[in-house]
């Protein structure tokens, strides 16, 4: 396909913001803070940072350089290098195909909360059972998911430069301002509970940032490490073909090494700030017990915090959920773009037609996932000991199972068959230096495959 037909980013900053838009999503704002709260705050932060600069950097560099060098989507990129490795492209394609089934469902939940705050329902949202009764109903979650999916499809339908790049350039800087604003506000909070105990935002920030080694055993340390690692995949959108697709849209003269660094900083910075806005606020109003609420932190604990804030809480709650919706939207767009781009290449169809077909297919698939909490409810024990409904099952197959497996194979492929120099050449092809190339070559050959293998075995329950 020629350049015109493929579409592409017009500028380096447009690419970085679109890639950051893909990376920054509910993973940063919802998943990262609750993992940090659960895993001893500062210790998790420290480990995560080290992993981003080593693993994250390695996997992100591989995906982006692979895309730009082959100028192909994941489906064809691997086969274009070595025919025998074509299967890896298909395997990679499966991940966004699965994630798309439930990401728009979560996007729908966030959209629902925007409407709730807009229509003065902040008190109701803070009541026990509100979230559960919403997701277990049969119509409302499907309706909001469809609204979210329609928006996503529209941007993808508009194309790379006019849709994705323009939208990301508008949204991402605004997102940063909002997060910094709410994080600063969170630090100024203070509350005295019915027992007369006063807790402040600054104390909450200390709980979040200072490493706690209380009760740390080797086993627990390993658990935290694995949590941080799986968060990293999801958060950076690596090993799922997305960054390969976006890489294929980047012009040859762009300094990829610098772009990778910027994406790492953007994604990690937003995750850190999201923790800084959520954890101190939850600590102030609900103490350390509130922080341990896990996945329900955003939909259950935070609405309680907003109510405690009084009138300002309604406005802040609204702004907060609008921001999360935008973050989720840019991520969902990247997932859908990958599916559309791959299918355009595969079936030789136009972007507009493929966007509509895929939008239609996912309207049905995501509706089924929505109903996984009502009509299709089940409790399935997973090999890693958790109990899953439909949404968790999709998440488990794509993130815990396929992603480490694909990363493992990619490391073997690039590290041992194609050889790291192939990627390094691409990173330096624009005439810029690739500062971390020694680290890259070492990571992709030795460290990354071992860790991916461990992560994969852990997800299958073979290693616990």
Tokens representing residue 281 in the block: 């606020």
Q: Which of 270, 222, 283, 287 is nearest to 43 (CA)?
A: 222
Q: Is 25 in the site for ligand PFF (CB under 6 A)?
A: yes
What CA–CA distance (Å, rounded) separates 107 from 153? 13
Q: Is 145 in the site for ligand PFF (CB under 6 A)?
A: no
Q: Is 59 in the site for ligand PFF (CB under 6 A)?
A: no
Q: Which of 385, 369, 1, 10 is nearest to 164 (CA)?
A: 10
Please choose, out of 195-203, 327-335, 344-352, 370-378, the segment that lies near ligand PFF by the rule CB under 6 A: 327-335
Judged by CB under 6 A, the residue of 16, 23, 263, 300 near ligand PFF is 23
How wide is the angle at C-alpha 122 spanned by C-alphas 118 and 127, nearest 5°?
150
By the 10 Å C-beta count (0-12 exposed, 13-18 middle, 19+ buried), 258 is classed as middle
Judged by CB under 6 A, the residue of 27, 33, 317, 372 near ligand PFF is 27
Smallest gap from Cβ 403 to ligand PFF, in A, equals 9
Q: Is 235 in the site for ligand PFF (CB under 6 A)?
A: yes
Smallest gap from Cβ 32 to ligand PFF, in A, equals 8
Judged by CB under 6 A, the residue of 16, 26, 232, 358 near ligand PFF is 26
Tokens representing residue 88 in the block: 């890896």
Whether the Cβ atoms of residue 66 and residue 270 lie closer than 8 Å to each other: no
Q: Is 33 in the site for ligand PFF (CB under 6 A)?
A: no
Residue 177 φ/ψ, nearest 5 degrees = -60, -45
Smallest gap from Cβ 17 to ligand PFF, in A, equals 14
Judged by CB under 6 A, the residue of 268, 334, 400, 458 near ligand PFF is 334
Smallest gap from Cβ 201 to ligand PFF, in A, equals 25
Please tell me what DSSP assigns to residue 267.
H
Q: Which of 305, 296, 393 is nearest to 34 (CA)?
A: 296
Q: Is 179 in the site for ligand PFF (CB under 6 A)?
A: no
Smallest gap from Cβ 175 to ligand PFF, in A, equals 12
User: Nearer to ligand PFF by C-beta: 92 or 458?
Assistant: 92
Q: Is 342 in the site for ligand PFF (CB under 6 A)?
A: no
User: Nearer to ligand PFF by C-beta: 230 or 334?
Assistant: 334
Task: Name beta bridge partners: 191.
Answer: 199
Residue 191 φ/ψ, nearest 5 degrees = -150, 135
What CA–CA distance (Å, rounded) separates 241 from 338? 7
Judged by CB under 6 A, the residue of 7, 96, 247, 275 near ligand PFF is 96
Total residues at the site for ligand PFF (CB under 6 A)?
Answer: 16
Q: Is 400 in the site for ligand PFF (CB under 6 A)?
A: no
Q: Is 278 in the site for ligand PFF (CB under 6 A)?
A: no
- Integer distance in angstroms from the first to the last C-alpha of the chain? 47
User: Nearer to ligand PFF by C-beta: 204 or 261?
Assistant: 261
Sign of CA dihedral 81, 84, 85, 86: positive
Q: Provide the binding-site residues for ligand PFF, judged by CB under 6 A.
A: 22-23, 25-28, 96, 99, 234-235, 237, 240, 242, 331, 334-335
């Amino acid at each position: 396909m020629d350049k015109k037909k493929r579409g592409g980013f017009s500028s380096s900053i447009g690419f970085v913001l679109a890639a950051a838009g893909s990376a920054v999503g509910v993973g940063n704002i919802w998943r990262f803070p609750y993992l940090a709260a659960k895993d001893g705050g500062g210790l998790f932060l420290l480990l995560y940072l080290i992993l981003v600069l080593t693993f994250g950097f390695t996997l992100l560099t591989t995906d982006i350089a692979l895309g730009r060098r082959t100028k192909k989507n994941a489906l064809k990129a691997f086969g274009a290098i070595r025919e025998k490795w074509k299967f890896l492209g298909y395997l990679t394609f499966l991940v966004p195909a699965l994630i798309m089934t439930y990401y728009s469902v979560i996007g729908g939940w966030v959209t629902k909360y925007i409407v709730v705050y807009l229509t003065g329902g902040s008190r109701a949202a803070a009541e026990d059972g509100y979230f559960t009764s919403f997701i277990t109903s049969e119509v409302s979650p499907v309706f909001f998911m469809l609204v979210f999916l329609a928006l996503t499809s529209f941007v993808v339908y508009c194309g790379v430069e006019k849709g994705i790049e323009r939208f990301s350039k508008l949204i991402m800087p605004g997102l940063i301002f909002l997060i910094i604003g709410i994080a600063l506000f969170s630090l100024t909070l203070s509350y005295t509970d019915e027992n007369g105990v006063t807790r402040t935002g600054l104390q909450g920030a200390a709980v979040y940032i200072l490493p706690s080694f209380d009760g740390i055993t080797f086993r627990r340390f390993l658990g935290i490490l694995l949590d941080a690692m799986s968060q990293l995949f999801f958060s950076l959108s690596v090993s799922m073909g997305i960054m390969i697709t976006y890489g294929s849209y980047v012009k040859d003269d762009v300094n990829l090494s610098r772009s990778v660094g910027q994406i790492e900083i953007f994604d990690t910075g937003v995750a850190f700030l999201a923790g800084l806005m959520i954890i101190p606020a939850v600590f102030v109003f609900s103490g350390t017990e509130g922080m341990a609420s896990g996945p329900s932190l955003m939909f259950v604990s935070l609405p309680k915090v907003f109510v405690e804030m009084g009138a300002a809480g309604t406005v802040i709650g609204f702004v907060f959920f609008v921001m999360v919706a935008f973050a989720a939207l840019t991520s969902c767009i990247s997932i859908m773009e990958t599916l559309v781009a791959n299918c355009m290449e595969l079936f030789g169809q136009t972007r507009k037609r493929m966007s509509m077909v895929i939008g239609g297919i996912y309207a049905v698939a995501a509706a089924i996932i929505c109903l996984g909490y009502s009509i299709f409810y089940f409790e399935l024990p997973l090999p890693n000991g958790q109990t899953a409904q439909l949404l968790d099952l999709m998440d488990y197959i794509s993130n815990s199972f396929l992603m480490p497996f694909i990363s493992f194979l990619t490391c073997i492929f690039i590290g041992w068959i194609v050889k790291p120099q192939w990627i390094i050449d691409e990173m330096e092809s624009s005439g810029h230096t690739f500062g971390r190339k020694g680290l890259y070559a070492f990571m992709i050959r030795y460290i990354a495959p071992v860790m991916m293998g461990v992560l994969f075995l852990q997800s299958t329950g073979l290693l616990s």
